[in-house]
Amino acid sequence: MSLITQVKRIPKFYRGNAACPGCPIPRELDILIEELGEKTVLVVPASCSTVILGDTSGMPATVPVVHSAFAASAAIASGIVRALRMRGDKDAIVTVWAGDGATGDIGFATLSGAAERNEDILYICYDNEAYMNTGIQRSGLTPKGAWTTTTPEGKREVKKPLPFIIAEHKVPYVATASIAYIYDYEAKMRKAKQIRGFRYIHLLSPCPPGWRFDSSLTIEIAKLAVETGVWPLFEIENGEFRLTSVSKTLLDKKNRKAVAEYLKLQGRFNKLTEEQIKEIEESIDEMWEQIKEMIKK
Amino acid sequence: MQVLKRKVLALVGNHAVAYAVKQAKPKVLAVFPITPQTTMLEKLAEYISSGELKAELVRIESEHSALASIYGAALAGARVFTATSSQGLLYMTEMIYWAGGQRVPIVAAVATRAIAEPWSIWDDHQDFVSKRDAIWIQIMAENVQEAYDMTIQAFRISEDERVILPVMMGFDGFILTHTMERVEVLEDYEVDSFLPPRQFNLIDFSDPVGVGPIAQPDEYMKIKFEAMKAMERAKGVIEEIMREYEKISGRKQYGLVECYKCEDAKYAFVTMGAWSGDAKVAVDRLRDQGIEAGLLKIRVFRPFPKEKVEEYLRSMKGVIVFDRAVSFGSGGILANEVKSSLYGLEVPVYNVVAGLGGKDVRPLHFQKVMEDLVEGKLEEERWLL
Ligand SMILES: Cc1ncc(C[n+]2csc(CCOP(=O)(O)OP(=O)(O)O)c2C)c(N)n1
Ligand code: SF4
């Protein structure tokens, strides 16, 4: 049998991978495996992660990795988990690890289908807010105002509110996370591991070349996204909405840092006018008003 | 050889294939409706709901995902099946190439149907042959019995360790899917012995591998070369498996091609699929008229049996290839295959394009073009409009 596209993990001493300096993805994946354990299958659609996870000469992962066509990952995962369960494997965690483009655009129907069927998979969208692997083009999850190579004047439309859209499918678990709040991310992973059915975690994943910031600032920016209220940390468990970690303290606007602090560190926002910045700030306030409503319910 | 009295059922093509699939015991199936394949997957859903078939049915949201889901399931060790047609097959195309490129054992039935635009729900082969370069074994049935037999054989071929390739089983939309015929079926235990449980599985937590990563150019080309060799090997394996099936079923099976009165023929038709039956009727009538006609039916379209085609047709005075699919700007697709198989030989090959979008073709049509050939009146390419 000559299935030479199967590759083994590369030897332990070779710790490298093909991520850019300052890219959070390798660390995010390390944490994922630490929390979910070695009985995890990663399904990875075309993206930066495809490259990071190696070529036919070896892979820097300790669990099975199934590379996927761009639009297909939630469906491939559905098939894998059903076959594993038919084989009597009750506890393997089949996990999709997908970018925002695969999740919110081309794979959206596939994702929505899997959520609607409540497939027993964990879907993690690492959101770097553009198609990064193909060179920073806008996606449906690029925020309004952001520069990309296909929106040189700044994106005109708003970011798709994906965690809320998925929650509307009435799946058992939806959460957001940030690499700057590792304990929160880990706790959510642990929780997702215990739950059966469709679980969705949306992880904000700052990208130095795509967002135009110095590669030493990744964690700083991931942190500011939360502290300014741009990226609220929450979970929706069986329909119940709950803020987590520091986001619990941010309902009161005066606890939130100024949104401009987050924006000004990133070259992708440096053409914004004062007025546009104000508009973005207002939209964040608006989102927090909605969050208040959700908590009241 | 003592052959048992066979169980005979009256089945439409879709139900005959579903029956064969049930006996093959796949573990994961995906369904998405498209005419004229729909009633096959409905039947399979019934088998699963009644417990006759113990399998997972993924009621998926599109064809792209249908193939993706069984691709995933196949990687994880399950025997898998799906079916589609026309636009559905086109929508699946990206995953068709993934399954072929990764060389996963999958069986998919294609109820052949014309491709829009304009909309047409009727039969031709344009959908099926459009997948000829996707590293799939492609087999075409002539009648409902053959569709049943081929489905069972397809799982064996696909999973044979000398092959390990997906198999696409084509059968003419409506003409076979919806026509009821007498079908001799095997007993379940016979299928069990012919088709042992599958061994293939790429998800192993004690020894994890990566499936389908990026390949550098040297590796990429090597992988494609291996696939080409597997395709070539498949020819022998298919013949061997069909011979074995012949022993079990007690019925003559044909290998890569079927020769109908072509051994002593001076003129031959070449066909694929359901209208081969009409062509056989035409051959008999032409023989009555004193014309030494024969028919070479292509059963296996990929790998293309060019050696057999050459062997049977090398001394013909004229060959007429009937095509239900066209490469626009080049010609009939089957005709092009036959011409290239006969490269360097002095065999005149004529091409008749007919039956597109379900346009009726009868034995009389076959007869007429053969008469024209014999009288020296047939042009190189003729469309039966
Ligand atoms: C059908 C299809 N269209 C386009 C591509 C090209 N492509 C590969 S990766 C990619 C962008 C991925 O973006 P995203 O999902 O956000 O992940 P990221 O690269 O940012 O990690 C695109 C467009 C493809 N592989 N398949
Ligand atoms: S482009 Fe961005 S997301 Fe992609 S590897 Fe580089 S830093 Fe990571």
Residue B373 pLDDT > 90: yes
Residue A25 near ligand 2, beta carbon < 6 Å? yes
Whether B360 has a pLDDT exceeding 50, the answer reads yes
Local confidence band at A59 (pLDDT 50, 70, 90 cut-offs): confident
Residue A61 pLDDT greater than 90, yes or no? no
> pLDDT tens digits, residue range B99-158?
999 999 999 999 999 999 999 999 999 999 999 999 999 999 999 999 999 999 999 999
Give the 3-state secondary structure of residue B284. Answer: helix
Q: How far is the CA of A71 from the centre of ligand 1 (A)?
A: 9
Q: What is the pTM of this model?
A: 0.96
Interchain contact, A38 vs B205, CB within 8 Å:
yes
Tens digits of per-residue pLDDT, A11-26? 444 457 889 999 999 9
Confidence of residue B3 (pLDDT cuts 50, 70, 90): low
Cα A27–chain centre separation: 13
Q: Between A3, A76, A86, which is nearest B164 by CB?
A: A3
CB B120 within 8 A of CB B252: no
Check residue B11 and give its pLDDT: 98
Residue B52 has pLDDT above 70, yes or no: yes
Asked whether the predicted pLDDT for residue A86 surpasses 60, the reply is: yes
Report the run of H or E that residue A289 belongs to, with start and end.
helix A274-296
Rounded Cα gap, residues B271 and B296, in angstroms: 7
Amino acid identity of B327?
S
Which of B:56-75 have CB within 8 Å of A? 56, 58-62, 64-66, 68-75
CB nearest A3 (choices: B95, B103, B208): B103
How far apart are the C-alpha atoms of B37 and B83, rounded to whole Å? 7
Q: Which two tokens stand for residue A100?
A: 């925002």
Question: What are the Cα distances from residue B170, in Å, to A232, A250, B145?
Answer: 52, 61, 13
Residue B372 to residue B379: CA distance in whole angstroms: 9
Q: Which residues of A220-244 are buried (b: 16+ CB within 10 A; e: fewer)?
A: ebbbbbbbbbbbbbbbbeeeebebb
Backbone angles phi, psi at B106, to 5 degrees: -140, 145
Is the per-residue pLDDT at A8 higher than 70? no
Give, for ligand 2, the residue of A23, A49, A100 to mutate: max count of ligand atoms closer than 8 Å to Cβ.
A23
User: From atom 5 of ligand 1, which residue's Cα is the shortest distance away?
Assistant: A70
Mean pLDDT of A170-190: 98
Given an 8 Å threshold on Cβ–Cβ distance, is B28 in contact with A5? Answer: no
The amino acid at residue B81 is F
Return the ligand 1 atom nearest residue A107 CA: 15
Q: Report which of A145, A171, A150 is spatially closest to residue A280, judged by C-alpha positions.
A: A145
Render pLDDT for B277-287 as a digit per residue (tens, 0 to 9): 999 999 999 99
Is the pLDDT confidence value at A254 over 90? yes
Alpha-helix residue ranges (DSSP H) falling in B162-260: 188-194, 217-249
Does residue A6 surpass a pLDDT of 90?
no
Average pLDDT over every residue of A25-52? 95
Question: What is the H or E stretch that residue B279 is in?
Answer: helix B276-288
Query: Which two tokens mark B94?
Result: 């990206």
Checking if the pLDDT of B187 tops 80, the result is yes
A5 vs B320, higher pLDDT: B320
DSSP H helices, A64-197, are: 73-86, 100, 108-116, 162-167, 182-194
In chain B the first and final C-alpha atoms are separated, in Å, by 49
Three-class secondary structure of residue A42 per DSSP: strand
Q: How confident is the model at residue B227 (pLDDT cuts 50, 70, 90)?
A: very high
| Residues B281-300, mean pLDDT to the nearest whole number | 98
Confidence of residue B235 (pLDDT cuts 50, 70, 90): very high
By CB atoms closer than 10 A (0-12, 13-18, 19+), residue A77 is: buried
pLDDT exceeding 90 applies to what percent of chain B? 97
Q: Which token pair is A87?
A: 């084989």
Q: Which residues of B touch A80 (CB under 8 A)?
A: 72-73, 75-76, 203
Whether residue B56 contacts residue B25, with contact meaning beta carbons closer than 8 Å, is answered with: no
Q: How far apart are CA A137 and CA A118, in angstroms?
A: 31
pLDDT at A60: 86
Q: What are phi and psi of A162, to 5 degrees?
A: -65, -45
Q: What is the mean pLDDT of chain A?
A: 94
Nearest to B314 by CA among B344, B337, B284: B344
Nearest-10 crossing angle of helices B63-75, B86-102: 30
Q: Is the pLDDT of residue B218 over 90?
A: yes
Residue B61: CB atoms within 10 A of its CB come to 20
Q: Is the ipTM of this complex over 0.90?
A: yes
Ligand 1 within 6 A of CB of A132: yes
Q: Is the pLDDT of residue A5 over 60?
A: no
Please state the rounded mean pLDDT for residues A140-153: 98
Take atom 1 of ligand 2 and give the residue whose Cα is closest: A132
* Neighbouring residues of B294: CB distance < 8 A, sequence distance ≥ 6: B259, B260, B261, B262, B263, B264, B265, B267, B268, B269, B283
Confidence of residue A85 (pLDDT cuts 50, 70, 90): very high
**Is A110 touching ligand 1 by the criterion CB < 6 Å?**
no
| pLDDT above 90 for A37 | yes
What's the mean pLDDT when you consider all of chain B?
97
Question: For residue B57, which residues of chain A lie inside 8 Å, CB to CB?
Answer: none
Q: How far apart are the C-alpha atoms of A201 and A123, rounded to whole Å?
A: 6
pLDDT at A57: 85
